Structure 1
Amino acid sequence: MDTASTSTPDAFTEAWLPGPDGTSFYTRTYASAPCPARAAVVFVHGFSGHCARYEWMHGEYAARGVTVFTFDQRSFGRTALDAEERARTPGALYGRTSWREQLGDIEWWVRHVKDRYPGLPVFLMGHSMGGALALAFVTRKSAPPSADAVEMLAGVVASSPFILRTKPTAWHVRWAGWLLSFVMPNLVLHTPINPNNLSHDPVKNEANSKDPRILHKGSLRCLDDMLGGGENLLRYDHKQWPKAMPLLILHGSADRITSPKASRDFFDKVEAEDKEYKVFEGGYHEVMREPNGMKEEYAEASTGWMLERAQNSGSRPVGDGSKL
């Protein structure tokens, strides 16, 4: 845990909640404290990650007035690995998922948060693969998600979104992967990541490499959807962005995993009335773990952006914002 955190060990509540098709999801809620909640955000983690990795950041959000709801995605983290819950959800095998399932899950949790916090504007935020899913969520021509679920959002925040890799996959490998995803969609491949490319904090990078809940692998369908979905965002899905939907993109300029240039290109193509691109000079992929004040700048930029739009929406702070 980051020693600079303003959160406390009991700053969140955890729960196993039922999701779409009976899948049981591990979830965390960081209720705004000590100040009243002024906004809520649904946070989506990245590929092979899990929600507990963002404890410092989410504690900071809660301390600034933003209640956070987050979850281990289908086929990742405790949702996939917890033995007891897997017994209840036998299909939740690690790495075996698809964009359609993931977008349906996000819609489920957006509705859950909107119902639980009816007095608060709700934002959608994701990091890396989760960042691309957040961008995709509001650019679909057909469900999931449904149009009314998109209209529930007060804005979208994409952190180091997986639109393109910094070093693109060779075209023949992409073509072969695409073809095989139809033939053997559930074949799981190992996808190692150099932990030293995550941030400039060696302690955090080592913790990532030793985390038993991080398994660098995914099914062919999962990988093809992630790669192809990001490419399509840049190619034509950006045209579907609702003009009235606010957008914030955060990216480190030295990201070695996901392309800052692709993020900027997507940003420039989106015809949103309210959009902002925040670059962190020299930052790697996980800016929220960067030392020397960068992670604090990241927390301030993202919460400040959400709270400004929450204020403009006319919402009023009410306790923790939840139903009694």
Structure 2
Amino acid sequence: MQAYLTELYYIFLEPVLLYLGLTTQGSGDPTYGRDRLPYSAQERSLIYENPNVRSTRRRVYLCGTDPVLDVELQGVHALPSTYKNKRLTSFVNYYIWEMPSVAQLNADVYLVHGINDYSGKLTVQGTAFMRAGMRAIAIDLPSFGRSSGLPAYVPSMRVLANALHAVMAHVHFHDTLAELPALARRKRFGQGSSMGGFTVLYHCALYPPAAPAKLGGLANGARLSLDGVAVSAPMLQIASASRPSYTLEWIARRICMFAGRLPFAKAIRGNVSDDPKVDYYASIDPQNYRGLVRIATGLAIVAGIDDLARITSRIQCPVSIDHGENDRATSPHGSIAFFEKLHAEPKRLRLWPGVEHGAFIETNPSGDQKSSC
């Protein structure tokens, strides 16, 4: 009963109190308790207790969509309402993982997780990239993992692409302070699956290399575009098995204005894999979001997919797409249509017969997932 009442408060009352300035996000904890959760056994063994790995955790604070680039904010664990006359609205949590003992390449890979997940699900991919000499930068998307925001509430998909951009700017800022090679001279790659794949592709379209970013504190002309992306099962079209009916979508659009935070649709739940262990382990992972898709998030996904389809031609970097032909969460037809409209070269699309959305998920007896969809 207490959990039910708390959820009702977050859905209906908290937005009003926030608007009136009578409360703060999560009643003082902008992660709504996610930051207090322990790391999984997999995260600890592969990263945080691994003597071969150096991990750096940071938060980039945002004023609207612009990152606040100031070293004094590091170590601040709350979300100050203002900082140096700037109104701070949120923060994005991210990690830099690297293996100092491995010969280093002048390259970074930005790892972006899928819906309901968090950066810790990407430790296997991160380990592979580190062993190849790259820095792996794993991001908790807004409202997921240890970033701020009501769990799984994303009112616009641009929030996700802007979060990735803010992290890239923050990495560049700290590299410059440490007199490391400037980001403008590093190769930067993006890797993601499902919603993470959509996010890196959306970023490529919104931030092409022809448009240098001039963010607060960032050197003029610094190039913050990605040099190439590899995505699997990207969220470019929702499969019919996971998309709500027309009636439910019609209802959602009518009530979004006053109940956008309301959990509403099952969406991909039960459609990720035909292996029941996948859904089981996801359901017992306390760091996963285990509720229904919120109304505003679902409608934002639909709008974001349409927007990316409209601006696909802006993407200029090499793109590699892998998609299972039996995907019941994100349709492979979306990847095919996207690939045909993509002007970037080189580009590659591989369709895998008999493969579902959760092709890249493995489980172990401890209940930890080794990789994310």
Under a length normalisation based on structure 1, what TM-score does the superposition of the two structures give? 0.72
Aligned positions of 1:152-191 closer than 5 A: 152-167=225-240, 168-181=243-256, 183-184=257-258, 186-191=260-265
* TM-superposed deviation, 1:121: 0.2
Aligned positions of 1:208-287 closer than 5 A: 208-215=282-289, 216-234=291-309, 236-242=310-316, 245-287=317-359
Structure-2 separation of matches of 1:145 and 1:185: 38
Aligned positions of 1:29-44 closer than 5 A: 29-32=96-99, 34-44=102-112
- Go from structure 1 to structure 2 and tell me whether the alpha carbon gap of 1:128 and 1:153 turns closer, same or farther (over 3 Å shift): same
Q: Which moved more, 1:260-269 or 1:165-174?
A: 165-174
- Go from structure 1 to structure 2 and tell me whether the alpha carbon gap of 1:190 and 1:174 turns closer, same or farther (over 3 Å shift): closer
* Aligned length, in residue pairs: 273
Whether contact under 8 Å (1:160, 1:251) holds in the other structure is: yes
Structure-2 separation of matches of 1:144 and 1:272: 11
Structure-1 separation of matches of 2:143 and 2:55: 21
Partner deviation per Cα, 1:161-198 (whole Å, 9 max, x = no partner): 111112144334334433433x2364221444666643
Structure-2 separation of matches of 1:194 and 1:217: 9
For 2:211, give the aligned amino acid: A
Which structure would you say has the larger Rg?
A: 2
Partner deviation per Cα, 1:239-271 (whole Å, 9 max, x = no partner): 3333xx211112222212111111111011111
* TM-superposed deviation, 1:34: 2.2
Q: 1:57 aligns with which of 125, 139, 162?
A: 125
Whether contact under 8 Å (2:143, 2:153) holds in the other structure is: yes
* TM-superposed deviation, 1:199: 4.3
Structure-1 separation of matches of 2:151 and 2:47: 30
Q: 2:202 aligns with which of 123, 131, 136?
A: 136
SS of 2:227's partner is strand
Whether contact under 8 Å (2:165, 2:224) holds in the other structure is: no
* TM-superposed deviation, 1:158: 2.4
For 2:355, give the aligned amino acid: G
Structure-2 separation of matches of 1:145 and 1:48: 30
Structure-1 separation of matches of 2:337 and 2:362: 24
Query: What corresponds to 2:143 in structure 1?
Result: 75
Query: What corresponds to 1:15 in structure 2?
Result: 57
Whether contact under 8 Å (2:339, 2:349) holds in the other structure is: yes
* Percent of paired sites with the same residue: 23
* TM-superposed deviation, 1:108: 0.5
Alignment RMSD (CA, Å): 3.2
Whether contact under 8 Å (1:42, 1:113) holds in the other structure is: no
* TM-superposed deviation, 1:42: 1.4
Under a length normalisation based on structure 2, what TM-score does the superposition of the two structures give? 0.64
Structure-2 separation of matches of 1:58 and 1:261: 29
Structure-2 separation of matches of 1:275 and 1:128: 18
Whether contact under 8 Å (2:268, 2:329) holds in the other structure is: no
Q: 2:187 aligns with which of 90, 101, 121?
A: 121
SS of 1:288's partner is coil
Structure 1: state its 5+ residue gaps.
81-91, 292-298, 300-324
Name the structure, 1 or 2, with higher relative contact order (CA <8 Å, separation 6+).
1
Structure-2 separation of matches of 1:148 and 1:64: 29
Q: Which moved more, 1:145-154 or 1:248-257?
A: 145-154
Structure-1 separation of matches of 2:280 and 2:54: 25
Q: 1:26 aligns with which of 72, 75, 93?
A: 93
**Displaced runs of 4+ in structure 1, greater than 6 A?**
5-8, 143-146
Structure-2 separation of matches of 1:178 and 1:12: 46
Query: Quick check: which one's helix share is greater?
Result: 1
